[in-house]
Amino acid sequence: MRLIFLGPPGAGKGTQAKLLTERYGIPQLSTGDMLRAAVAQATEVGKRAKAVMDAGQLVSDEIVNEIVSDRIDQSDCAKGFILDGYPRTVPQAIALGKMLEGKGLKLDAVIELKVDEAALVKRMENRVAETIAAGGTVRSDDNPEAFKRRLTEYREKTAPLSEHYAGTGQLRTVDGMADVNTVTAEIEKILA
């Protein structure tokens, strides 16, 4: 099973990807998590990505295309994977199509979580509060200014992917405003 989750920041992509990972035994490939790990380890990619991420902007297509291609080649992706936060631009989607074709792989579905933008700031604030309560480190882009920029980047660069995947006949849409379990059930219906 090879899936893409689409949706704005806070739509629930990571939450649903984690749940499906357990259900289907395939890994969640979150480009955000991979980039944050690179920043934490101060790798070359991490050094290039840090300021861009902190500002809520998108990292270059070249960087993310390369890290995803390398990740898909790892043995735990043999049975499939869930792409969370990638692709995020039309050029990334085109690169992914070529990448998968080159590896002899096909996508099974592209699932878009539809949400009201007004609810997303609240979700981000909840995540910050939960992280602090758990003694964790708050994401450097989970603040009002960077979040606003992330939403703008989404509208300008990522939202056009809905049309792109509608055109390929792979797009499925789920109401991401429902509670977490209902969203999961709707996704499982699509995948059944």
Active site residues per annotation: 13, 88, 127, 139, 150
Query: Which residue, 147, 94, 98, is CA-closest to 119?
Result: 147
R_g over Cα of the chain: 16
Gap between the Cα atoms of 125 and 128, Å rounded: 5
Q: Which of residues 17-36 bind ligand AP5 (CB under 6 A)?
A: 30-32, 35
Work out whether 59 is an interface residue with ligand AP5 (CB under 6 A): yes
The minimum distance between CB 164 and ligand AP5, in angstroms, equals: 14
Report whether 83 contacts 73 (CB < 8 A).
no
- Candidate residues 29, 150, 161, 165; the one interacting with ligand AP5 per rule CB under 6 A: 150
Phi, psi of 109 (to 5 degrees): -160, 155
The minimum distance between CB 175 and ligand AP5, in angstroms, equals: 9
The minimum distance between CB 138 and ligand AP5, in angstroms, equals: 12
Gap between the Cα atoms of 136 and 24, Å rounded: 28
Q: Is 96 exposed, middle or buried (0-12, 13-18, 19+ CB in 10 A)?
A: buried
Please say which residue, 26 or 56, places its beta carbon nearer to ligand AP5.
56
Q: By the criterion CB under 6 A, which residues form the site for ligand AP5?
A: 7, 9-15, 30-32, 35, 52-53, 56-59, 64, 85-86, 88, 92, 123, 126-127, 141, 150, 176, 179-180, 183
